[in-house]
Structure 1
Amino acid sequence: MYPDAESYPWKSNAHYWLVTNLYQNMRANALTDAELRRKAADELVHMTAR
Protein backbone atom coordinates (compact mmCIF):
# COMPACT_ATOMS: atom_id res chain seq x y z
CA MET A 1 0.00 0.00 0.00
CA TYR A 2 1.16 3.53 -0.68
CA PRO A 3 0.90 6.31 1.90
CA ASP A 4 -0.43 8.84 -0.63
CA ALA A 5 -1.24 9.30 -4.30
CA GLU A 6 2.08 10.99 -5.00
CA SER A 7 3.98 7.85 -3.91
CA TYR A 8 2.14 5.54 -6.30
CA PRO A 9 4.12 4.71 -9.49
CA TRP A 10 1.68 6.20 -12.02
CA LYS A 11 2.42 5.34 -15.65
CA SER A 12 1.62 8.90 -16.68
CA ASN A 13 0.63 12.24 -15.20
CA ALA A 14 -2.76 11.84 -16.89
CA HIS A 15 -3.48 8.74 -14.79
CA TYR A 16 -2.59 10.62 -11.60
CA TRP A 17 -4.85 13.57 -12.44
CA LEU A 18 -7.73 11.35 -13.57
CA VAL A 19 -7.78 9.25 -10.41
CA THR A 20 -7.14 12.05 -7.92
CA ASN A 21 -9.75 14.34 -9.48
CA LEU A 22 -12.34 11.55 -9.51
CA TYR A 23 -11.54 10.69 -5.89
CA GLN A 24 -11.83 14.33 -4.82
CA ASN A 25 -15.15 14.67 -6.66
CA MET A 26 -16.42 11.42 -5.13
CA ARG A 27 -15.61 12.58 -1.59
CA ALA A 28 -16.87 16.15 -2.02
CA ASN A 29 -20.18 15.13 -3.59
CA ALA A 30 -20.80 11.74 -1.94
CA LEU A 31 -21.09 10.08 -5.34
CA THR A 32 -22.58 6.62 -5.66
CA ASP A 33 -20.70 3.93 -7.58
CA ALA A 34 -22.92 4.54 -10.60
CA GLU A 35 -22.32 8.30 -10.51
CA LEU A 36 -18.58 7.81 -10.13
CA ARG A 37 -18.48 5.37 -13.06
CA ARG A 38 -20.44 7.83 -15.19
CA LYS A 39 -18.05 10.67 -14.33
CA ALA A 40 -15.06 8.42 -15.04
CA ALA A 41 -16.50 7.47 -18.43
CA ASP A 42 -17.19 11.13 -19.24
CA GLU A 43 -13.65 12.12 -18.26
CA LEU A 44 -12.14 9.35 -20.40
CA VAL A 45 -14.14 10.58 -23.38
CA HIS A 46 -12.81 14.11 -22.77
CA MET A 47 -9.25 12.79 -22.44
CA THR A 48 -9.41 10.91 -25.74
CA ALA A 49 -10.75 14.02 -27.48
CA ARG A 50 -7.73 16.07 -26.36
Structure 2
Amino acid sequence: MFNMTSGRFEAGRSGNPNGRPKGARNKATIVVESLLEGEAEALTRRAIELA
Protein backbone atom coordinates (compact mmCIF):
# COMPACT_ATOMS: atom_id res chain seq x y z
CA MET A 1 0.00 0.00 0.00
CA PHE A 2 1.27 3.44 0.95
CA ASN A 3 4.93 3.83 1.90
CA MET A 4 5.19 6.46 4.62
CA THR A 5 8.91 7.08 4.07
CA SER A 6 8.73 7.89 0.37
CA GLY A 7 5.14 9.18 0.29
CA ARG A 8 4.28 6.92 -2.66
CA PHE A 9 2.25 3.83 -3.33
CA GLU A 10 4.05 0.58 -4.03
CA ALA A 11 4.52 -0.27 -7.69
CA GLY A 12 1.51 -2.09 -9.11
CA ARG A 13 -0.79 -1.18 -6.22
CA SER A 14 -3.51 1.39 -6.51
CA GLY A 15 -4.42 3.81 -3.76
CA ASN A 16 -8.05 3.10 -4.59
CA PRO A 17 -8.31 -0.63 -5.33
CA ASN A 18 -12.07 -0.52 -5.93
CA GLY A 19 -11.79 2.43 -8.32
CA ARG A 20 -14.64 3.67 -10.46
CA PRO A 21 -17.36 1.07 -11.08
CA LYS A 22 -17.46 -0.49 -14.54
CA GLY A 23 -19.91 1.32 -16.79
CA ALA A 24 -19.83 4.55 -14.76
CA ARG A 25 -19.78 7.65 -16.95
CA ASN A 26 -18.56 11.19 -16.43
CA LYS A 27 -21.14 13.78 -15.43
CA ALA A 28 -20.35 15.80 -18.56
CA THR A 29 -21.14 12.79 -20.76
CA ILE A 30 -24.49 12.31 -19.06
CA VAL A 31 -25.36 16.00 -19.49
CA VAL A 32 -24.42 16.04 -23.19
CA GLU A 33 -26.38 12.86 -23.84
CA SER A 34 -29.47 14.35 -22.19
CA LEU A 35 -29.14 17.55 -24.26
CA LEU A 36 -28.81 15.61 -27.54
CA GLU A 37 -31.54 13.09 -26.76
CA GLY A 38 -33.91 12.90 -29.71
CA GLU A 39 -31.73 15.14 -31.89
CA ALA A 40 -29.38 12.53 -33.37
CA GLU A 41 -31.31 12.10 -36.62
CA ALA A 42 -31.64 15.84 -37.26
CA LEU A 43 -27.96 16.45 -36.47
CA THR A 44 -26.87 13.62 -38.77
CA ARG A 45 -29.07 14.91 -41.57
CA ARG A 46 -27.66 18.43 -41.18
CA ALA A 47 -24.06 17.14 -41.14
CA ILE A 48 -24.68 15.28 -44.40
CA GLU A 49 -26.21 18.39 -45.96
CA LEU A 50 -23.16 20.46 -45.02
CA ALA A 51 -20.67 17.84 -46.23
TM-score with structure 2 setting the length:
0.31
- Which protein has the bigger strand share? 2
Q: Relative contact order (alpha carbons < 8 A, sep ≥ 6): 1 or 2 greater?
A: 1
- Which protein has the bigger helix share? 1
